Structure 1
Amino acid sequence: MDVSEIRQRLNIAPQAGIAWFCVDESDVAFAPQKAPGPRRVILRSWPDGTPVACVFARTTTGTSGIPHDAHDHLAEYDRCNIDKEGRIVLGVPLTAKKSVLDHNTSICDEPDADITRRVLTAPGCS
């Protein structure tokens, strides 16, 4: 059992600005024309009392957003598939059902503290 599954069983929220997930495009509708297909998202917030969380999408083809390096930590996170340079689109906060942000879609933790800071200080979902 990994940490994300333990968190879910104990009803402990994933860490905002750190937790990465790979969900289906239809779950976040960032680029609906690409559904079905994988979309990597980083958690912005996990508000209490609501079934949705706020996330930011990562793109490898778009030109907006902040630059984001590929991850190189497969030894620690064997499910991490952030393997290309990309961008995190902080200007488009998205909602995602908390039920899809679980141990099945969790892929890794963000290793760059500056990225975490920028995600946490970006405007979130309304």
Structure 2
Amino acid sequence: MPADSFNPERDLTVPSVYSLNLSAAQHCTLAWVEDHGGLFDPIPVPVDTVAEDCGNSVSTVHESLARLEGLRLLVRTAAGLYRINARYYFTLHPELRDMIATALTDPPVIPDDRARAPRKVSNTDSRRRRTIRPVS
């Protein structure tokens, strides 16, 4: 049985956020993580700070984090840090999803003999390297 080929519409997307029936607190918690850098790096999510920033109770933030983690919109690392699932980000930005899909399916760039050769130095560059200038 042949393996399925890479399909960016299937492999780099998640269901629509609207179809997940997120509460306002869950949307706010997800936005807080995104606004504080959780899109690119795992970050700590201090529940008290999120509750204060979003105007929710601490228990509501705990419930939001649990649901978002259960939906896999947030990925929790072993160190207890959170980051946003990259598939969620690519769902929001189809132009980047297409660019990534193209990058994954295009052939690799292969250096030729000229690229492996030493860099040619111009006469001006050679003179600059030989000139010793005093420090003023």
Higher RCO structure (Cα 8 Å, ≥6 apart): 1
- For the criterion TM > 0.5, the same-fold answer is no
Answer 1 or 2: which has greater helix percent. 2
Please give the TM-score of this superposition, normalised by the length of structure 2.
Answer: 0.22
Question: Which has the larger Rg?
Answer: 2
TM-score in terms of structure 1 length = 0.24
Higher strand fraction (1 or 2): 1
